[in-house]
Chains A and B, each alone.
Chain A
Amino acid sequence: MSIVVQDLTVSYGEKVVLDSISLEIEEGIWSCLVGPNGAGKTTLLRTLLGMAPYEGSIKDRGVEVFKSRNRNVAFVPQQPQIPQGMSVAEYVMLGRAKRDGWGNDSLASRTYVHQVLHQTHLFEMKGNLVSHLSGGEMQRALIARALAQEPELILLDEPTSALDLHHQIAVLNEIEELKESGVTVISTMHDITLAAMFAERIIVMKEGKILLSGGAQEVIHSPELKIAYDNRIEVFTLENGRSVIVASKEDFN
């Protein structure tokens, strides 16, 4: 087991956002957190990063996360703060900062970043300012920075939410490649259909609790998923065996 969460509780003032969660996440697989808005997905992701204060325990390979500053975890936020005046190459190079020390770009890092820029099809625009990138390009730059980090674990908050259908698949393919290189992936996603296509494991959350955690196909056809969304979703199975989840229209009356 890579990450073991036990009785994790996170509160903002009086409000309990995560309510004694227990969870085990295997190394080297892609787990996806799904659930309605306010379920606590992003908070769980931030807590796994080790930044937010919590009660209970989160052990990453045996070490409590808030005590460990040496973990190499990449974080891809839903809405990144876009730095002014920074080029794409400089932005991706930030991924090496923890390795080299801030501002000391080693030759090995520069070579590695070149390779990452090619891999993510950003090489042609490496001199452009990140503030001038389109939504899809920005998402690729974020993934590229995470790749440059050579992380053991990558946390992605809604990596596809701002993208068109084509770019969604492109970004998810890149994350899948990352996973295949041995990185543990944990993401949140609103699109359960896409989550089921890519993630091996789906964790269903509602109101700060985990309703179900299991294999993608098992979770999609489970009653817990419908409960999480107050029975406002429908699951269809296509002829090729793929499952599609849509919101049901009549429930909104």
Chain B
Amino acid sequence: MWNWRITAFCALILLLVAIAAVSFGPISINFFKVFKTLFDLPGGATGQNRTVILQLRLPRVILGVLVGAALATSGAVYQTVFHNPLADPYLLGAASGAGLGATIALTSTHHNLQGALPIFAFLGGVLAVVTSFFISGKFFADPNSLLLSGIAVGSFATAIQTYLQQRHSAALRPVYSWILGDLTSASWSVVAWSSIYIAFALIILFSVAKQLDGLMLSDEEAYSLGINPKRLRIIAVAAATLATATAVSASGLIGFVGIVVPHLVRGLTHRVTNRSLISIAMAGAAFLVLADLGARTLLSPAELPIGVITAFVGAPFFLVVLRNRRKIMR
């Protein structure tokens, strides 16, 4: 019972937002010129404007699309797997693990290590989630035990991170700005490696999206309906974690997308989350690109951290949706 109209609507919004994001900034470029440049048609921008479009803004918009899609989809999947509407992609220690990895890189005196920050963040995030798996012991028999061990591992990583920060106060500012997240690191090379992991993870998640409905039931019910719930949980959590860790290592900790967007799409469409997974991915991408546009232009030429925008806009918007949903339910 797929509603293609919602998907088409999200795709259209994403396209418009993306073109707007490439057009606006300290230098505004005509909408049509951007369009012609992007599709290599005659009459496109030349010289400096062409460089701004193709080398600065386009990779940044594409990274925003990737990170937004990754965070929103992972959030929706985690909410299903853990039967918890408040679950977000950072739940199993991915955020604190990545934060610790980034802090190790930033506090290191060795210059080469600082350049390897994304790798450290990625490894930290994945390592934290894998540790949570093993500590939980029950190997996915009970999602709640995994959730609790994720919280414990997360606190442990945060404690080490805080200690390192205290010891290296010079690194406080870069660590802090990394934690708030930004897309300024965007370049074609970052887009290239992050798109491989994120696309791989999202293809897996979209291909099991319909079966994820079964994880909303008890394990016995899911099994009787032809699903292996433990295996599906492992696949879903592993893919969502890969997408999250990649997003975090490319752009830092951007909060709120993973919770707000799935609820927003569900609230507006009144549909089961998993059935709108592609729409959620596109809405997440559009949301993040729009937030980044705000971060770049609101205090131009200065930049706001994108996490500030996502929370500042996301939180009130979320409350409005929540309130309307309650009205409908009454």
In the complex, are the beta carbons of B220 and A75 less than 8 A apart? Answer: yes
Given A85-B266, A85-B272, A132-B329, A94:B224 Cβ within 8 A = no
Chain B positions within 8 Å of A86 at CB level: 213, 216, 272
Interface size on B, residues (CB 8 A): 27
Q: Which residue of A lies closest to B274 (CB)?
A: A103
In the complex, are the beta carbons of A51 and B223 less than 8 A apart? Answer: yes
In the complex, are the beta carbons of B218 and A98 less than 8 A apart? Answer: no
Give the interface of B toward A (CB within 8 A).
1-2, 83, 85, 209-211, 213-214, 216-221, 223-227, 266, 270-273, 275, 329
Chain A positions within 8 Å of B219 at CB level: 51
Q: How far is the CA of A89 from the CA of B173 in the complex (A)?
A: 54
Chain A positions within 8 Å of B85 at CB level: 84
A81, A85, A98, A155: the one contacting B270 at CB < 8 Å is A85
Tell me, rounded to whole Å, the shortest Cβ–Cβ distance linking B182 to chain A.
33
Q: How far is the CA of A132 from the CA of B273 in the complex (A)?
A: 17
Tell me, rounded to whole Å, the shortest Cβ–Cβ distance linking B276 to chain A.
9
In the complex, are the beta carbons of A97 and B217 less than 8 A apart? Answer: no
> Considering the complex of A and B, which 10 residue pairs feature the smallest CB-CB distances, nearest first?
A103-B210, A98-B226, A83-B216, A75-B224, A102-B210, A81-B218, A102-B211, A85-B272, A51-B223, A75-B220
Q: Which residue of A lies closest to B224 (CB)?
A: A75
Within A49-106, which residues are at the interface with B (CB < 8 Å)?
49-51, 69, 73-75, 77, 79-81, 83-86, 90, 93-95, 97-98, 102-105
Tell me, rounded to whole Å, the shortest Cβ–Cβ distance linking A72 to chain B.
9
In the complex, are the beta carbons of B221 and A75 less than 8 A apart? Answer: yes
Answer yes or no: A46 CB below 8 A from chain B CBs.
yes
Chain B positions within 8 Å of A79 at CB level: 218
Q: How far is the CA of A127 from the CA of B272 in the complex (A)?
A: 13
Answer yes or no: A187 CB below 8 A from chain B CBs.
no
Within A90-138, which residues are at the interface with B (CB < 8 Å)?
90, 93-95, 97-98, 102-105, 132
Chain A positions within 8 Å of B226 at CB level: 69, 97-98, 102
In the complex, are the beta carbons of A80 and B217 less than 8 A apart? Answer: yes
Chain A positions within 8 Å of B223 at CB level: 49-51, 75
In the complex, are the beta carbons of B220 and A84 less than 8 A apart? Answer: no
Tell me, rounded to whole Å, the shortest Cβ–Cβ distance linking B293 to chain A.
31
Q: How far is the CA of A93 from the CA of B223 in the complex (A)?
A: 16
Given A97-B225, A98-B226, A132-B329, A83:B220 Cβ within 8 A = no
- Looking at B85, B226, B270, the one whose CB has the most chain A CB atoms below 10 A away is B226
A50, A74, A103, A104: the one contacting B275 at CB < 8 Å is A103
Report A23-44 CB contacts with B as 1/0, cut-off 8 Å. 0000000000000000000000
In the complex, are the beta carbons of B213 and A103 less than 8 A apart? Answer: yes
In the complex, are the beta carbons of B217 and A98 less than 8 A apart? Answer: no
Tell me, rounded to whole Å, the shortest Cβ–Cβ distance linking A67 to chain B.
14
Q: How far is the CA of A75 from the CA of B1 in the complex (A)?
A: 24
A69, A77, A90, A105: the one contacting B221 at CB < 8 Å is A77
Tell me, rounded to whole Å, the shortest Cβ–Cβ distance linking B75 to chain A.
15
- Looking at B214, B219, B225, the one whose CB has the most chain A CB atoms below 10 A away is B225
Q: Which residue of A lies closest to B275 (CB)?
A: A103
Interface size on A, residues (CB 8 A): 29
Name 22 interchain pairs, CB-CB below 8 A, sorted by A.
Answer: A46-B220, A49-B224, A69-B226, A74-B224, A75-B223, A75-B224, A77-B221, A80-B218, A81-B217, A84-B272, A85-B272, A85-B273, A94-B213, A97-B226, A97-B227, A98-B226, A102-B210, A102-B214, A103-B2, A105-B1, A149-B225, A155-B224
Q: How far is the CA of A81 from the CA of B213 in the complex (A)?
A: 12
In the complex, are the beta carbons of A81 and B216 less than 8 A apart? Answer: yes
In the complex, are the beta carbons of A90 and B272 less than 8 A apart? Answer: yes
Q: How far is the CA of A93 from the CA of B329 in the complex (A)?
A: 23
Q: How far is the CA of A58 from the CA of B252 in the complex (A)?
A: 53
Tell me, rounded to whole Å, the shortest Cβ–Cβ distance linking A57 to chain B.
20
Chain B positions within 8 Å of A81 at CB level: 83, 216-218, 221
Tell me, rounded to whole Å, the shortest Cβ–Cβ distance linking A51 to chain B.
5
Given contacts A49-B220, A51-B219, A97-B226, 11 further A-B contacts (CB under 8 A): A50-B223, A75-B224, A80-B217, A81-B218, A83-B217, A86-B213, A86-B216, A94-B225, A98-B225, A103-B209, A149-B225
Chain A positions within 8 Å of B213 at CB level: 83, 86, 94, 97, 102-103
Q: How far is the CA of A48 from the CA of B199 in the complex (A)?
A: 40
Given A83-B272, A85-B272, A149-B225, A77:B216 Cβ within 8 A = no
Chain B positions within 8 Å of A83 at CB level: 213, 216-217, 272
Q: How far is the CA of A102 from the CA of B1 in the complex (A)?
A: 11
Q: How far is the CA of A77 from the CA of B225 in the complex (A)?
A: 13
Chain B positions within 8 Å of A46 at CB level: 220
Q: How far is the CA of A139 from the CA of B271 in the complex (A)?
A: 22
Q: Which residue of B lies closest to A50 (CB)?
A: B223
- Looking at A46, A51, A93, the one whose CB has the most chain B CB atoms below 10 A away is A51
Q: How far is the CA of A149 from the CA of B226 in the complex (A)?
A: 11
Q: Which residue of A lies closest to B220 (CB)?
A: A75
In the complex, are the beta carbons of A84 and B216 less than 8 A apart? Answer: yes
Q: How far is the CA of A69 from the CA of B231 in the complex (A)?
A: 14
Q: Which residue of A lies closest to B85 (CB)?
A: A84
Tell me, rounded to whole Å, the shortest Cβ–Cβ distance linking A126 to chain B.
12
Chain A positions within 8 Å of B270 at CB level: 85
Tell me, rounded to whole Å, the shortest Cβ–Cβ distance linking A150 to chain B.
13
